[in-house]
Chain A
Amino acid sequence: MIGTNFVPDVDFLERILGTADVLEIPPDVIASHSGAIDEDAMAMLDEVAAHARLIVHGVGLSIGSADGWNDDYLRLLDALFARLPIAWHSEHLGYTTVAGESLGTMLVLPRVEESLDLLCPRIEAIQRRYGVPFLVEHVVNLLPEPPEADYSPAAFLNELVRRTGCGLLLDVYNLQCDVHNHALDVGRFLDELQFDAVREIHVANGVERDGVLLDIHSRALRDDTRALLAQVRPRATNAEAVIFELVPEAVPVLGHEAIAAELERLA
């Protein structure tokens, strides 16, 4: 299956449905200030559920916050799961809040035992709460690498899978960012990764600023992203969907036709 993000824009949805088999709902983007899902967006989701498979991909759970995750985000998930047929959902392996306040970005967790001890019970609780597959996504590290690590990047993900039975969301562009910013050995990462846990793949593009490659999700795909995807796809035999990630702000900039063309190339 091929898909992209759900954006509450009727013209956009009419253009891509048919090419997109699956739409990924970003709960944070369609939340109202009252902590509920925006009703207009929910009505659109009710409509598109008949035409595309729906999955959820969050930013705001902050599953890695040591002082507790974001309960408001869970209420958004509760509302979506109560009303829509969500096939599976996913979240980033990072933290966006500290003491309940937003960082304005997402930071990675160090790949150490303490992080696993924090994450595993939370992943298991999420799996029990919603009863559909839950995938975790490795996050682009935008700051210098912490000096201590008990695990390699792939081994850390494998260990989460081993301890919890969760799935993995492999973001090809995130790997490219880590290669660019931190000289990640992507060949070693892919050789080491437990690919049978990969249920979903993301592709995207961003911008480079002062030598730092950022995962802004704002542009058409680069050729080298497509090339890396071509390497990954045959190994991810359990992956059910490839998602072209876009922030809503990028949709009018890129244009509906260009996005549809990108989805057709991925199919």
Chain B
Amino acid sequence: MTRDLATLQREMAELIRGGAPPSGDAYLAGVQQSAELKVLRECIAEWRELVLRRACPLTVELLRARGTFEPAVRRLLRRACPPFRHELALAFLAEVAADADPRLAQVAAFEAEMIRLHN
């Protein structure tokens, strides 16, 4: 191969998060422009939305009422996430618990604690 596996995987991860391919790399440039990558990103975002709706419905409802849930999930897509469902929810809630809105922050902290207690 023109690149080793570790490099290829780092580059693919970066593309999925919305990063740019190395300049002059025709294959990765093709992936970046592909309809498949667009669909894949949408699927990842929807799956994470579903996981979060189930894991922390109160926080999600508050965010949706403010119109900021979908953007928050898109932000989540752009950064690295832990692999398991509950870990994903806890990482998300930790971010929301730092929000400047005290009601939202408290609800997120409460739901994080409930997840820890339940598991």
The interface of chain A, by Cβ under 8 A from chain B, is 28-29, 31-35, 38, 60, 62, 65-67, 70, 72-73, 95-99, 101-105, 107, 109-110, 112, 114-115, 118, 142-144, 146-148, 181, 209-212, 214, 249
Contacts and interface: CB of A to CB of B under 8 A. Distances in A.
16 contacts: A29-B85, A66-B9, A72-B83, A101-B81, A101-B83, A103-B16, A104-B44, A104-B81, A105-B40, A105-B44, A110-B1, A118-B5, A142-B39, A143-B34, A147-B26, A210-B39
A142 B40 contact: yes
B5 A98 contact: no
A32 B83 contact: no
Contacts, number: 116
A67 B12 contact: no
Interface in B81-110: 81-90
Closest 9 CB pairs of A and B: A101-B80, A33-B86, A32-B119, A104-B44, A66-B6, A98-B13, A66-B5, A102-B83, A212-B39
Given A65-B9, A99-B80, A112 B1 contact: yes
A104 B77 contact: yes
B36 A181 contact: yes
B35 A212 contact: yes
Question: Which of A65, A102, A148, A210 has its CB near the most chain B CB atoms (within 10 A)?
Answer: A102
Q: Which secondary structure characterizes the binding site on chain B? A: helix
Contacts of B115: 33
Given A29-B85, A101-B82, A143-B34, 10 more contacts: A32-B119, A33-B86, A73-B83, A99-B10, A104-B16, A144-B30, A144-B34, A144-B36, A148-B2, A210-B35
A60 B84 contact: yes
B84 A109 contact: no
A181 B35 CA distance: 11
Interface in B3-40: 4-6, 8-10, 12-13, 16, 26-27, 30-31, 34-40
Contacts of A105: 16, 40, 43-44
